[in-house]
Structure 1
Amino acid sequence: MTSTTDARTLVETHLAEMAAGDLEAFERSCHPAARDRDARAIGAPPACSTPGAAGFHAAALWLRGMFSELAWDVHEAVAQNDLVVVHTTMRGRHTGPLTKYSPDGVLVMDVPATGNEFTVTQTHWYRHREGLIAEHWQNSDTLGLLRQLGLAG
């Protein structure tokens, strides 16, 4: 069984990899069958649904294409068996087009950069296997993000 400290370190490393976008780092931290079960639901490009490191790398590139200065602060972590949950704040600046895709991969939203900074709370859920990220899903304050970007009232 992985300790809460080890699980938190695994997730903090993964979130730093999301900010950096380094494929080799994802290859070291993601199980070959790892998946982000929210990729389609949150409007990510189809490549983000690819299993393993490639899918997480695609998600990092998508996020980094929209946001610079991207970082996550982990406030709390809870681990039980193969599950770890972290409460975070994501922060960055909107410097690229805000894009969303339909489940079949069609671009449905393409909003120009506002240049605005943002901070939003998120809860990330991870399953780990063999010391690697095996599954991810999240809850995020999307309305708060849109308000800070000046895209919602």
Structure 2
Amino acid sequence: MTATAERAAVLDIAERSIQGVIGNDSDELHAVVHPRAVNREARTEPPAARGRGPRAFAATGSWLAAAFDELTWATEEHVIEGDLVVTSGRLSGRHTGDFVVWTPDGTVERAFAPTGRIFSVRQAHFQRVLDGLVVEHWAVRDDQGMAMQLGWIPPTIGYLVRCQRATMRARREAARSGKASS
């Protein structure tokens, strides 16, 4: 395989993993994510997303799908350096469900009630690809820009009340499903 073909194959794997998470496609993630792969961004995600491998990456996809419809990722630029693939682009979607943020110890910290608003923010995803599989992921995201577009900040009193109710719902659901809920 030529160096150009190898670079194209590595980029394809990285793109497929992003699309697999965004599209909540467990089968695709099992095809491109190593069984021991780690997502370094999972610290505020549900406990199931903090594990390793395709199931943890799929849990991230399920978490996002529960809060956002119409999720799309569009890569605008990429850089490949050895086994590292950096993709820069836009994540867009519509906030239609509770977006639950988790604490480092795996409990529900808070939930943002759906606003129905659309967001589009720039992100950069860093993925290490070895032997044709993603083994590591981390990202740089514009979370503040997303929060402003979705109406999370500055919050109104009414929205704060809705978020408190959403947080209580998330904690009850976590308790019912056996996850931590403090």
- Alignment TM-score > 0.5, same fold: yes
Between 1 and 2, higher relative CO (CA 8 Å, sep ≥ 6) is seen in: 1
| Counterpart in the other structure of 1:101 | 102
- Report the identity percentage: 34
2:85/2:126 contact within 8 Å kept: yes
Tell me if the contact between 2:38 and 2:52 (Cα under 8 Å) persists in the aligned partners: yes
Which runs of structure 2 are paired with 1:12-27 in the superposition (5 Å)? Answer: 12-27=15-30
After TM superposition, list the pairs within 5 Å mapping 1:67-82 onto structure 2: 67-82=68-83
CA RMSD of aligned residues (A): 1.3
Q: Is the 8 A contact 2:16 2:28 kept in 1?
A: no
> Where in structure 2 are the equivalents of 1:34-49 lying within 5 Å?
34-40=37-43, 43-49=44-50
Partner residue, 1:111: 112
Aligned AA (1:6): A
CA distance in 2, matches of 1:103, 1:146: 21
SS in 1 for 2:153: coil
Task: Name structure 1 gaps, 5 residues minimum.
Answer: none
Q: TM (normalized to structure 1)?
A: 0.94
Q: Partner of 2:7 in structure 1?
A: 4
Which has a greater percent of strand? 1
Q: Hey, which of these two has a bigger chunk of helix by percent?
A: 2
Q: Distance in 2 between matches of 1:119 and 1:67?
A: 12
1:77, 1:85 within 8 Å by CA — same for their partners in 2? yes
Q: How does 1:56-75 map to 2 (within 5 A)?
A: 56-75=57-76
Mark the runs of 5 or more structure 2 residues left unpaired by the alignment: 155-182
Larger radius of gyration: 2
Q: Distance in 1 between matches of 2:116 and 2:53?
A: 32
State the Cα distance separating 1:74 from its structure 2 match: 0.2
Alpha-carbon distance between aligned partners in 2 of 1:18 and 1:31, rounded to the nearest angstrom: 14
Measured in 2, the distance between the counterparts of 1:16 and 1:139 equals 17
When the two structures are superposed, what TM-score results if normalisation uses the length of structure 2?
Answer: 0.79
Task: Report the equivalent of 1:123.
Answer: 124
Question: Is the CA contact (8 Å cut-off) linking 2:68 and 2:94 kept in structure 1?
Answer: yes
